[in-house]
Amino acid sequence: MQLFLDTADLEEIHTGVEQWGVVSGVTTNPTLIAKAGQDHETQVKRICEIVGNVSAECVSEKKDDLIPEGRRIASWHENVIVKVPMTWDGLAAAKVLAGEGVRINVTLCFTVNQALLAATVGAYIVSPFVGRLDDINQDGIRLIRDIVAAYREQGVTTKVLSASLRNPIHVQDSALAGADIATMPFKVMESLVTHPLTDQGVARFLADYERAGAGRASAAGADARAKPDLRSDYRTTQEPKAVEAPQGQAAAKA
Ligand code: E4P
């Protein structure tokens, strides 16, 4: 499953792509673009310079407006994926644009039937919104699982992008449900690496290393290897214990 950031914030995107090295795309929407405080075209072009696979959303409603708007957005950069809404107009525009080779993301998907329609018009991506379904007491992850199953059954190649993710459990459940891509806010991605036992483990390894003077020995280039600290918690708790032969076996050998 590919990991995308759901943001138009350049600093967050730089961190995810260059510092963490785990982000392979970005989804934006009119709300996120408005938050970034730049005009749509400038911001999308900047994001495209950082990462491939950048979804940029149309704001027209009618097919005849969506088609030229989609062409215009697609012309901004080769990394752009044009987002259209899950409406009859959006689907009709998607069909025309996809026929011209534009990569389309049909957004605001809430049912399997809508996902089938997106596939029928040749969408590159469909975006089911998990969190917004959970918000109204429906099962967002179940929708991902059902769309993935229907697509597999029908041999559909449209990618399932799990969107509107609100927490790390949404991310792991999207992967288990078979999503091709998960897009999430920066905060959610940041939380994916966190576990208290990982933090404790790192701290303990470093403390043992320091206590044994291992860093000092190699830094000085001395050939005297650091003597292991036998009082170290790590050694006393992690070293394998000698296995004693079961009584019967020992007796048989004797
Ligand atoms: C996806 O493309 C959308 O931008 C996004 O995931 C919507 O998330 P929200 O429901 O938290 O606004």
Question: 234 and 120: one domain?
Answer: no
Distances (CA, A) of 232 to 144, 202, 204, 217: 48, 14, 10, 18
Question: 132 and 211: one domain?
Answer: no
Position in ligand 1 atom list of the atom nearest CA 28: 4
Question: 37 and 118: one domain?
Answer: yes
Q: What are the backbone angles phi and psi of residue 183, rounded to the nearest 5°?
A: -110, 140
Question: 118 and 140: one domain?
Answer: yes
Question: 72 and 156: one domain?
Answer: yes
Q: Which of 28, 29, 170 to mutate to test the pocket of ligand 1 (most atoms within 8 A of CB)?
A: 29
> Does 226 map to a domain?
yes
Domain boundary among 135, 162, 191: 191
The tally of CA atoms less than 13 A away on the side-chain side of residue 123 is 30
Question: 184 and 204: one domain?
Answer: no
Task: Tell the residue number behind the tokens 């329609």, with chain if given.
Answer: 117
CATH of residue 93's domain is 3.20.20.70
Ligand 1 mean position to 73 CA, how many Å? 19
Q: Which of 4, 6, 9 to mutate to test the pocket of ligand 1 (most atoms within 8 A of CB)?
A: 6
Ligand 1 mean position to 29 CA, how many Å? 7
Of the candidates 35, 45, 63, 83, the residue annotated as catalytic is: 83
> Does 225 map to a domain?
yes
The tally of CA atoms less than 13 A away on the side-chain side of residue 117 is 22
Q: Which of 110, 135, 164, 170 to mutate to test the pocket of ligand 1 (most atoms within 8 A of CB)?
A: 164
- pTM for the model stands at 0.84
Per-residue pLDDT at 222: 52
Question: Which protein residues touch ligand 1 with a CB less than 6 Å away?
Answer: 6, 27, 29, 107, 127, 129, 131-132, 163-164, 183
> Does 98 map to a domain?
yes
> Each residue of 136-185: pLDDT tens digit?
999 999 999 999 999 999 999 999 999 999 999 999 999 999 999 999 99
83 belongs to the catalytic site: yes
CA–centroid distance for 62 within its chain: 32
Question: 23 and 52: one domain?
Answer: yes
Question: 151 and 220: one domain?
Answer: no
Question: 119 and 215: one domain?
Answer: no
Say yes or no to pLDDT of 247 above 50: no
Structure tokens at 6: 């759901």
> Does 32 map to a domain?
yes
> Does 251 map to a domain?
no
The count of domains in the chain is 2
> Does 247 map to a domain?
no
- Which structural domain range is residue 18 located in? 2-191
> Each residue of 85-94: pLDDT tens digit?
999 999 999 9
Ligand 1 mean position to 184 CA, how many Å? 8
Ligand 1 mean position to 164 CA, how many Å? 4
> Does 106 map to a domain?
yes
The better pLDDT of the pair 103, 227 is held by 103
Total Cβ atoms within 10 A of residue 216:
11
Per-residue pLDDT at 100: 98
* Average of per-residue pLDDT across 215-225: 59
> Does 80 map to a domain?
yes
What DSSP line would sit under the chain, residue for residue?
A: -EEEEE---HHHHHIIIIIS--EEEEE--HHHHHHHTS-HHHHHHHHHHH-S-EEEE----SHHHHHHHHHHHHTT-TTEEEEEESSHHHHHHHHHHHHTT--EEEEEE-SHHHHHHHHHTT-SEEEEBHHHHHHTTS-HHHHHHHHHHHHHHHT---EEEEBS--SHHHHHHHHHTT-SEEEE-HHHHHHTT--HHHHHHHHHHHHHHHHHTHHHHHHHT-SSPPPP-TT-HHHHHHSPPPPPPPHHHHHHH-
Question: 184 and 144: one domain?
Answer: yes
Question: 119 and 164: one domain?
Answer: yes
Question: 53 and 168: one domain?
Answer: yes
